[in-house]
Structure 1
Amino acid sequence: MAVRIGNDSDNRLRGTSQADTLRGIGGNDTLEGFGGLDLLLGGKDDDQLFGGADADILSG
Structure 2
Amino acid sequence: MMDTYSIFREIADSWVLLAMFLFFIATVLWVFRPGSRDLHRDAAQAPFRNDEPGADMKEARQ
**TM-score scaled to structure 2, two decimals?**
0.18
**Higher fraction of strand:** 1
Q: Which has the higher contact order (CA 8 A, sep 6+)?
A: 1
**Higher fraction of helix:** 2
